[in-house]
Amino acid sequence: MFGACLLFAFMLPFLGFALRSNLLFFAPQYLFPYGGFVIPQPFGSKAVFSHSVAVLLSVMQWGVATVGFAWFARRVPARYAVFAAVVAIVLIAIAVNVAFGLFGITVELDGL
76-99 pLDDT, tens digit each: 888 899 999 999 999 999 999 999
108 contacts 36 by C-beta, under 8 angstroms: yes
pLDDT at 112: 56
Question: In what side-by-side order are the strands of the sheet with 44-47?
Answer: 44-47, 37-41, 106-107
Domain limits for position 31: 2-107
State the amino acid at position 60 in one-letter form: M
Inside any domain, residue 100: yes
Provide the domain count of the chain.
Answer: 1
Inside any domain, residue 75: yes
Inside any domain, residue 78: yes
Percent share of the chain, pLDDT over 90 = 69
What pairing do the DSSP bridges indicate for beta strands 37-41 and 44-47?
A: antiparallel
Report DSSP state, residue 10: G
Averaged pLDDT for residues 57-80:
92
Whether this prediction's pTM lies above 0.85 is answered by: yes
Q: Could you tell me which residues are beta bridge partners of residue 107?
A: 37
Question: Is 80 exceeded by the pLDDT of residue 111?
Answer: no
pLDDT at 42: 87
Inside any domain, residue 69: yes
